[in-house]
Amino acid sequence: MKFKLPFNKKQPQPINEAPKESLVRVASASDHFIQSIQNATNNPADLIIKLVPPNLTLIYIDNLVDIETLNNDIIANLQNKPHETLEEIEIAMSIPEIQHSNLLKETVESMVNGSVLIHVEGYSQVLLANIATRESRALSAPENESQVIGTQVGFNESLSTNISLIRRYIVSPELCNEKFKIGTRTNTSISLLYMNGIANDQMVNTLRQRITDLYIDELLDSAVLAEMIDDNSLSVFPQMLLTERPDRFCDAILDGKVGILVDGSSMAIIAPQSFTEFFQSQEDQNLRWQIATFLRLLRLTAFFLSVYLTPFYVAAVTFHYEVIPQAFLVPLSESRALVPFPPIFEALLLEFIIELLREAGARLPTKIGQTIGIVGGIVIGTAAVQAGITSNILLIIIALSALASFTSPSYMMGNVIRLIRFPIIILAGFWGFYGIMLAFCFILIHLLRQTSLGAPYMSPFYPPRMKEMRDSIVRMPIPLTAKRPALTRPKDKNKFKPQPVKPKKS
């Protein structure tokens, strides 16, 4: 069944019936101009109006402009020197980015973005000198996607810093950067990045269209954007990767994927993304292929363990006592003997406690969070068993599956793993192994139906792409992975020329 999204992604842009304000021209008289700017911006407290004798007026918003540049390169050059024409002023200032405008709306928009307006008495045109400064924190290590071997730098909240980081990794004129503004009120800048000559045009066009079709009033984080431009926003499974690692971003872009950066957000969006790629870490590329393969298989095992171990316990203890090995029978039933609840309730209770601990640990300050973890783990765990609420073996299983869910390199996917466990536990408690199979089939069918930017989500398993399994749940040595994934339909299929299998002896 296809669920329709209640949020219409393709809202028609309201037709602008040539609003009068956008055509209002800049007044030539200084006091009129100042008045009109004050009206347009609702006269905020940080609006600075500076008169430079004899005939200039400077207007800007405090904290948005670089004060040092303003003092040294604008005011110092203009003061006490009579300037007659706009061209003369432009030459006098040592500022690289200067625009002319005679429309009031454009002027105000430019000022809000960090320009200084320079108005000359008697001219119905203003100069817009862009000397914007943006508050941003320094670059730091990626907290959510830390890795042992590899670069220790993550994106920060500044779009320009992030783009410069990427440009430093990919020094090539083929790196395309398209800018958009999203949000009628926030006017958030976003950048669409891809490699010309590698990325598929159709995918770039699709993504560009999805972004430009958005008609919303605010955009504060890239996660929101990712959810809105997903193929299926109602699915629990994320279809685009959110990453804060520039190396991962660049690796994806060089594979032919398309990336999006949002100003004010430290997470970049990458699409298309297949299901298996959520279990890959950038560190895999930095390790020897045997070790990387082991780690990838470990993560996949952890995924299945985390999702199916608790339901398996519940189903086996509730319905299918036949499958329990004989050696395990006595310890299992002895640990269950004191528990007054049915296994499904026991499991749900303990899962609930674990989720509480995780949530409390995530919300509290770091130092208290650790204490909560220890208190929760030891005190609640031991006390619950002694009070006869849960059995020892279930406690081990729940702890193991909680641990396993954190091995996913993508936090988004880890959340999904923890969430889909609950319905499976309930089904296992209702119907036993049949319930687990029902849930498994439902999840599998759902995953098979998903697409990411039109590319099949379960690739390379469905459709089966045998050669691409080399870099999916295993990682083969680099010479064997010379081709870019067909998932992205790249224009240039080869990363490098693959060596012949048996090189001729020279």
Partner 1 sequence: MNKLKVTLVVLLSLFFLYGCVQTNILDKVGLTTLVGYDKGSEHKIETTAVIREVNPEFQSKVEVITTENDTSKGNRMEANRRLSKKIMVGQMRVVLLGEELAKEDIRYYLDTNLENADVSNSIYMAVVEGRTAPFLTYEYKDIDDIGQHIYKLIEQNVRQEFMINATLHQIAHDYYSIGKDLAMPIIKRDQEFVELSGVALFKGGKMVSKLPAKDSFYVKIVRDTFKVGLYETILDNDDIPSKILQKPTDKITIAFDAIHSNRELTLVDAKKPEFDLDINIRSRVLEVFPDINQGDRKSVAELEKAIEKKISKEIARVIAHSQEVESDIFGFGEKYRSIVRHSNLTREKWHKLYKDMKVNVNVKFVILRDGVFE
Q: How far is the CB of 283 from partner 1 (least distance, A)?
A: 42
The CB density around residue 431, as the number of other CB atoms within 10 Å, is: 16
Which residues make Cβ contacts (< 8 Å) with residue 489, sequence separation at least 6? 200, 202, 203, 256, 455
Per CB under 8 A, does 1 bind partner 1?
A: yes
Q: Using an 8 Å Cβ cutoff, are 300 and 279 in contact?
A: yes
Strand partners, 47: 61
Let me know how long the chain is.
506
Number of DSSP helices (H) and strands (E) in the chain, helices first = 19, 12
φ, ψ for residue 11, nearest 5 deg: -75, 135
User: Is there binding between residue 442 and partner 1 (CB under 8 A)?
Assistant: no
Among 343, 381, 409, 490, binds partner 1 (CB under 8 A): 343
By the 8 A CB rule, do 216 and 248 touch? no
* Closest CB 394 distance from partner 1, rounded Å: 12
Element housing 501 (H / E) = none
Query: What does each C-alpha distance from 479 to 252, 471, 498 come to in angstroms?
Result: 18, 12, 6
Among positions 194, 303, 312, 319, the unique one binding partner 1 when judged by CB under 8 A: 319
C-beta of 1 vs 362, nearer to partner 1? 1
Closer residue to partner 1, CB minimum distance, 145 or 346: 346
DSSP string computed for 446-470 = HHHH-EETTEETTTTTTTT-GGGGG
Distance in Å, CB of 18 to partner 1, minimum: 42
Does 182 interact with partner 1 (rule: CB under 8 A)? no
Residue 485 DSSP code: P
Q: How far apart are CA 70 and CA 447, in angstroms?
A: 56
Q: Following DSSP, what letter does each residue of 58-101 receive, concatenated?
A: EEEETTTB-HHHIIIIIIHHHTT----SHHHHHHHS--S-EEEE
Q: Pick from 171, 330, 466, 501: which binds partner 1 (CB under 8 A)?
A: 330
**Where does 87-244 show beta strands of DSSP type E?**
98-101, 115-120, 126-130, 175-182, 188-195, 241-243
Comparison of 422 and 430: residue with beta carbon closer to partner 1: 430
For 127, which DSSP code? E
Choosing from 209, 333, 382, 499, the residue that interacts with partner 1 (CB under 8 A) is 333
Q: Output 108 or 385, the one with its CB closest to partner 1.
A: 385
Min dist. Cβ of residue 430 to partner 1 (A)? 5
Cβ distance to partner 1 smaller for residue 199 or 314: 314
234 belongs to the binding site for partner 1 (CB under 8 A): no
Under 8 Å between Cβ of 239 and 232: yes
We find the least distance from the C-beta atom of residue 318 to partner 1, in angstroms, to be 5
Binding segment for partner 1 (CB under 8 A), chosen from 33-41, 429-437, 439-447, 496-504, is 429-437
Listed in sequence order, the residues at least 6 apart from 478 whose beta carbon sits closer than 8 Å to its beta carbon are: 289
Residue 25 or residue 320: which is nearer to partner 1 going by CB? 320
Query: Among residues 5, 67, 338, 379, which is the contact residue for partner 1, using CB under 8 A?
Result: 338
CB of 416 to partner 1, least distance (A): 21
Bridge partners, residue 483, by sequence: 494
Q: What is the phi/psi pair of residue 280, to 5°?
A: -105, 145
Q: Does 336 bind partner 1 (CB under 8 A)?
A: yes
Q: How far is the CB of 340 from partner 1 (least distance, A)?
A: 10
Strands (E), 76-234: 98-101, 115-120, 126-130, 175-182, 188-195
Q: Does 332 bind partner 1 (CB under 8 A)?
A: yes
Residue choice 339, 380, 384, 425 for contact with partner 1 (CB under 8 A): 339
Contact residue for partner 1 among 166, 258, 317, 436 (CB under 8 A): 317
Q: How far is the CB of 380 from partner 1 (least distance, A)?
A: 22
Q: Which residues contact 380 (CB under 8 A, 6 or more apart)?
A: 353, 357
Amino acid type, 62? D
Tell me which stretch binds partner 1 (CB under 8 A): 18-26, 170-178, 331-339, 357-365: 331-339
**337 part of the interface to partner 1, by CB under 8 A:** yes
Among 311, 432, 485, 490, binds partner 1 (CB under 8 A): 432
Choose between 53 and 340: whose C-beta lies nearer to partner 1. 340
CB of 238 to partner 1, least distance (A): 24
For partner 1, the binding residue among 322, 365, 463, 501 (CB under 8 A) is 322
Burial class (CB in 10 A: 0-12, 13-18, 19+), 190: buried
Q: Is residue 311 part of the contact set for partner 1 (CB under 8 A)?
A: no
Give residues 63-102 in contact with partner 1 (rule: CB under 8 A).
Answer: none
Does position 324 interact with partner 1 (CB under 8 A)? The reply is: yes
395 near partner 1, rule: CB under 8 A: no
| Residue (148 or 337) nearer to partner 1, CB | 337
Q: Which stretch binds partner 1 (CB under 8 A): 188-196, 229-237, 265-273, 335-343?
A: 335-343
Residue 318 touches partner 1, criterion: CB under 8 A: yes
14 membership: H or E segment, kind and range: none
Q: Which residues bind partner 1 (CB under 8 A)?
A: 1, 316-322, 324, 326, 329-330, 332-334, 336-339, 342-343, 430-432
